[in-house]
């Protein structure tokens, strides 16, 4: 994920960058943050490679952030736009450029946390990751890399999309709790699957796209069918 901060005051944009980095660590979200002192500097960069999330100050020196937002929307209608401002006087303008939120200065850590919790719901698993301890050291795994994982002989075996396997030693409860995305389904004691790679559920097993069958405990079969159906339905909805 690419995040832009556009603010003409260096201290404020750097302060926000530090706070956003803390939020990224809290949510185990992988992202790059870029800072710009003006809309004039930001727009060419946004045209070259799109940003997924933009924090844009409305009151820029010699510029109006709303005008920058209008220019942005001409070529990027989808990025999440958050206005930084000392006033909500431009609320109507924000609506017209489909701003996601206003962050009023000075904002608190709790306000930023609540905002980021809402933003994260709009980002899919590819931007999320976990870190696990292995024999070779700490390894970072994106959610999208994980096919399924099982607890076996006091270790967790994580089977990956690339055909490789990562082995770590921790409680399965803690491991499963770290997979904080709706794409993961707990199939039973010591077994979890990534629904992104499931092509069907036959009432007893999830059948993965590579042909692998992941069994579901009998008491979870009904829940598995409902969860998989809901997952497929939501995935097909327009964003």
What does the pLDDT look like over 39-81, one tens digit per residue? Answer: 999 999 999 999 999 999 988 888 888 899 999 999 998 899 9
Which segments of the chain belong to CATH 3.40.50.2300? 2-120
Report the alpha-carbon distance of residue 176 to residue 147 in Å, rounded. 13
Report the alpha-carbon distance of residue 60 to residue 6 in Å, rounded. 9
Contact (CB, 8 A) for 62 and 33: no
Whether 91 has a pLDDT exceeding 60, the answer reads: no
CATH fold for the domain made of 2-120: Rossmann fold (3.40.50)
DSSP-assigned letters across all residues of 106-170:
SPPHHHHHHHHHHHHTTS-GGGBEEEEEETTEEEEEEGGGEEEEEEETTEEEEEETTS-EEEE-S
Contact (CB, 8 A) for 43 and 73: no
pTM for this prediction: 0.60
Q: pLDDT tens, 95-126?
A: 567 778 888 888 899 999 999 888 877 765 55
CATH fold for the domain made of 143-236: OB fold (Dihydrolipoamide Acetyltransferase, E2P) (2.40.50)
Whether 181 has a pLDDT exceeding 90, the answer reads: no
Please tell me whether residue 206 adopts helix, strand or coil conformation: strand
Which segments of the chain belong to CATH 2.40.50.1020? 143-236
Contact (CB, 8 A) for 66 and 93: yes
What's the token pair of residue 179?
């997979």
- Mean per-residue pLDDT of the chain: 88
């Amino acid at each position: 994920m690419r995040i832009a901060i556009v603010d003409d005051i260096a201290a404020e944009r750097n302060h926000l960058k530090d706070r956003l980095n803390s939020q990224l660590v809290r949510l185990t979200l992988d992202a790059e943050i870029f800072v710009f002192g003006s809309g004039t500097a930001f727009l060419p960069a946004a045209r070259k490679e799109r940003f997924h999330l933009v924090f844009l100050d409305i009151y820029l020196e010699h510029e109006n952030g709303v005008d920058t937002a209008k220019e942005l929307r001409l070529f990027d209608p989808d990025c999440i736009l958050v206005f930084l401002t000392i006033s909500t006087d431009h609320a109507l303008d924000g609506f017209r450029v489909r701003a996601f939120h206003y962050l009023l200065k000075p904002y608190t850590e709790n306000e930023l946390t609540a905002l980021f919790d809402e933003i994260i719901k709009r980002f899919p698993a590819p931007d999320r990751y976990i870190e696990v301890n292995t024999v070779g050291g700490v390894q970072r795994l994106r959610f999208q890399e994980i096919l399924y994982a099982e607890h076996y002989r006091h270790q967790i075996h994580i089977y990956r999309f690339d055909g490789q396997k990562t082995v770590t030693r921790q409680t399965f409860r803690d491991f499963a709790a770290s997979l904080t995305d709706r794409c993961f389904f707990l199939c039973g004691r010591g077994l979890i699957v990534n629904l992104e790679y499931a092509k069907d559920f036959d009432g007893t097993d999830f059948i993965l796209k590579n042909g692998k069958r992941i069994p579901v405990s009998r008491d979870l079969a009904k829940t598995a069918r409902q969860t998989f159906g809901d997952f497929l339905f939501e995935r097909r909805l327009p964003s």
